[in-house]
């Protein structure tokens, strides 16, 4: 049920001259500033010129003519025509719909709308999976679920940072100072230590830099020893990453790092750019000129090795050929904005008109004490340690509130991990996020545990009074009406979250709905034995269903009890 659509259809049926479509009318409908002015309002200014009447007169005439079974009354408020819906009828229809559709409520009716490729997470191998990788991982994972809810097929790709000059440096460091047993026993910390040592030693020994470049040239050329070491580093890193992905509940359809495009795909990119006369020499390197608006895009270094841009060009073409996507999203930090502008512009110059379907989805930073987290100088917070700490703290909080809870370890895992994810996703993605574990895990306020606890509370009510919701008569009170209006909005919020690539739309919605239900719980005796009990139970079921689905779209699980 879409109350805006109901209102716009009713309006269209009485407008004498149909110069607007139902959709155009619907977009103009807004919520009145004051609740006592009605549920929805239509501004009549746009009709004044066409009807040659004042907006106030139009509002009066429309209010007199409007007639719909779901509208209780219509009235003119200045230049606005406002409507009050029949609470009992609307709630009856809405609750029946949600109880029937269950977690399918809010899904777009048109499925098979095409494939959406989502490039996200993308950690660098041989480096720790830090809190800095959290944002891309959880935003991308949530967008995949939101895209599917909107009728698309999501293709989730982990574009690992597993290629480039840094691996020549790492091989050089291992050859000079590495120990096989140490790498096997403590992989990523050991490789990181070697990488840091390389840079420290190179300050006094510049020949190491040249040695690193040579090893990367050997790697790109398919040298057996270079490939063997690189594969070993990569496989050991992936084992460590998989632990974190398992904790977060994140999976991928393809793990295709930069190395996937080495060889023929990148050679074809260079050749096509040559054939189209787009490659230009610049200080020994090869670039594509961008015109005045952007700096040149570097395609090959002076030593002939490739760069991020070359590999991203190859990746984009491969993905279009492989998946024939309708959209390809790159969930990558805002600092890479220029890079993607260049890549997209080069694809356009190459004649690929689908370049318009590529979208960089940027986001802000995670801050610790107001400062950017960094792998340099030890300023790093490991994501696995954060998740372990969140689970431990969640268990402590749960044991204080419910010491006899069955399956407390699993509940603590769902609450702890969910708290970390929710804390990130409730923030608009372009904003920076301050890391604060205590704030994440509180059961009050705008947090994941607060929403999860609301679901558990609803489950407890429903457990006490099992019902099939066969006779839903609807509810006419003002307190339940606030919840009905929120429930009715959910399908539109799902659409808005996808269209803006903004999971925070869903996170903030779940908080508003949880707050409304907890207010209702405090004011109304849900299990009171009267004619409306069945409808109140249906409302409770609808709220828990929609909240669970909202959290699922964020990649968060909902414990049955807490």
What is 307-352 written as a DSSP string?
Answer: -HHHHHHHHHHHHHHHH--SEEEE---GGGHHHHHHHHHHHHHTT-
Residue 143 has pLDDT above 80, yes or no: yes
Strands 327-330 and 358-360: parallel
Query: pLDDT tens-digit profile of 30-75?
Result: 999 888 889 999 999 988 888 889 999 999 999 999 988 899 999 9
Residue 344 has pLDDT above 80, yes or no: yes
Note the pLDDT of residue 16: 67
Residue 473 has pLDDT above 50, yes or no: yes
Note the pLDDT of residue 377: 47
pLDDT band at 470 (very low <50, low <70, confident <90, very high): low
Query: pLDDT tens-digit profile of 176-232?
Result: 999 999 988 888 889 989 998 999 999 999 899 999 999 999 998 899 999 999 999
The candidate with the shortest Cα–Cα distance to 361, out of 396, 331, 340, is 331
pTM of the model: 0.91
Query: pLDDT tens-digit profile of 98-110?
Result: 999 999 999 986 6
Angle between helices 448-464 and 504-523 (to 10 degrees): 40
Note the pLDDT of residue 373: 61
**Strand ranges of the sheet holding 279-282, from the earlier edge strand across to the other edge:** 279-282, 285-288, 297-300
Count of other CB atoms within 10 angstroms of residue 522 = 8
What's the chain's average pLDDT? 91
Query: pLDDT tens-digit profile of 357-411?
Result: 999 999 998 887 777 765 444 457 788 988 999 999 999 989 998 999 999 999 9
Give the mean pLDDT of 153-172. Answer: 92
For residue 445, CA distances in Å to 56, 251, 442, 508, 558 come to 42, 30, 7, 11, 17
Query: pLDDT tens-digit profile of 425-447?
Result: 999 999 988 877 778 778 788 99
pLDDT band at 304 (very low <50, low <70, confident <90, very high): confident
Exposure string over 419-440, b if 16+ CB within 10 A, otherwise e: bbbbbbbbbbbeeebebeeeeb
Query: pLDDT tens-digit profile of 14-29?
Result: 886 666 788 888 999 9
Note the pLDDT of residue 145: 98
Percent pLDDT > 70 in the chain is 97
Q: Comparing 163-167, 175-179, 533-537, which segment has the lowest mean pLDDT?
A: 163-167
Percent pLDDT > 90 in the chain is 69
Note the pLDDT of residue 379: 59
How open is the CA angle 164-273-292, to the nearest 5 degrees? 90
pLDDT band at 423 (very low <50, low <70, confident <90, very high): very high
Count of other CB atoms within 10 angstroms of residue 283 = 6
Which helix (H) or strand (E) segment holds residue 98: the answer is helix 87-101
Note the pLDDT of residue 433: 86
- The phi, psi pair for 102, rounded to 5°, reads 55, -130
For residue 240, CA distances in Å to 43, 171, 271, 343, 440 come to 57, 20, 37, 31, 25
Q: Position of tokens 């909005």?
A: 489
Give the mean pLDDT of 80-93. Answer: 95
For residue 122, CA distances in Å to 98, 159, 227, 353, 450 come to 38, 5, 21, 26, 31
Domains of the chain are: 3-85 (3.30.1360.70), 164-250 (no CATH), 383-553 (1.10.730.10)
Count of other CB atoms within 10 angstroms of residue 403 = 8
């Amino acid at each position: 049920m879409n109350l805006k659509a109901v209102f716009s259809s009713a309006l269209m049926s009485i407008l004498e001259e149909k110069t607007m479509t139902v959709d155009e009318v619907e977009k103009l409908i807004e919520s009145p500033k004051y609740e006592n002015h009605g549920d929805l309002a239509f501004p009549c200014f746009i009709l004044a010129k066409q009807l040659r009447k004042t907006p106030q007169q139009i509002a009066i005439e429309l209010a007199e003519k409007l007639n719909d079974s779901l509208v209780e009354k219509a009235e003119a408020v200045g230049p606005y025509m406002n409507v009050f819906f029949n609470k009992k009828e609307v709630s009856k229809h809405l609750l029946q719909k949600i109880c029937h559709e269950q977690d399918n409520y809010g899904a777009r009716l048109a499925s098979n709308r095409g494939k959406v490729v989502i490039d996200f997470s993308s950690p660098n191998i041989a480096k720790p999976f830090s809190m800095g990788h959290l944002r891309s991982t959880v935003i991308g994972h949530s967008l995949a679920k939101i895209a599917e809810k909107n009728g698309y097929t999501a293709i989730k790709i982990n574009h690992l940072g597993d290629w480039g000059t840094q691996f020549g440096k790492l091989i050089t460091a291992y050859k000079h100072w590495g120990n096989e047993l140490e790498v096997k026993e403590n992989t990523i910390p050991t490789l990181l230590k070697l990488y840091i040592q390389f840079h420290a030693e190179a300050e006094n020994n510049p020949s190491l830099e040249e040695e690193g470049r040579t090893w990367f040239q050997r790697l790109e050329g398919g040298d057996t020893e270079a490939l063997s070491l690189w594969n070993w580093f990569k496989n050991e890193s992936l084992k460590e990453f998989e632990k974190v992905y398992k904790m977060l509940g994140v999976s991928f359809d393809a793990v295709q790092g930069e190395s996937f495009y080495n060889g023929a795909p990148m050679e074809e990119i260079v050749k096509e750019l040559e054939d189209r006369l787009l490659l230009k020499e610049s200080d020994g390197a090869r670039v594509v000129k961008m015109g005045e608006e952007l700096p040149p895009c570097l395609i090959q270094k002076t030593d002939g090795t490739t760069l991020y841009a070359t590999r991203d060009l190859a990746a984009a073409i491969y993905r279009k050929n492989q998946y024939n996507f309708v959209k390809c999203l790159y969930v990558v930090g805002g600092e890479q904005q220029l890079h993607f502008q260049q890549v997209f512009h080069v694809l356009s110059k190459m004649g690929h008109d689908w370049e318009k379907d590529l979208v960089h989805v940027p986001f802000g930073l995670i801050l610790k004490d107001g400062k950017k987290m960094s792998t340099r100088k030890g300023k790093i917070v490991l994501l696995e340690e954060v998740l372990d700490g969140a689970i431990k703290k969640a268990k402590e909080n749960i044991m204080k509130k419910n010491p006899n809870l069955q399956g407390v370890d699993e509940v603590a895992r769902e609450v702890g991990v969910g708290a970390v994810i929710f804390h990130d996703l409730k923030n608009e993605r372009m904003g920076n996020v301050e890391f604060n574990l205590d704030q994440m895990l509180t059961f009050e306020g705008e947090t994941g545990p607060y929403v999860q606890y609301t679901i558990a509370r609803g489950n407890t009510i429903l457990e006490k009074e099992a019902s099939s919701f066969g006779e839903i008569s609807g509810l006419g009170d003002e307190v339940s009406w606030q919840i009905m209006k929120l429930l009715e909005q959910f399908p539109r919020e799902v659409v808005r979250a996808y269209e803006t690539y903004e999971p925070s739309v869903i996170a903030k919605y779940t908080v508003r709905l949880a707050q409304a239900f907890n207010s209702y719980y405090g004011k109304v005796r849900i299990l009171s034995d009267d004619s409306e009990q069945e409808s109140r139970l249906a409302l409770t079921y609808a709220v828990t269903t929609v909240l669970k689905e909202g959290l699922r779209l964020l990649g968060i699980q909902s414990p049955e009890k807490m």
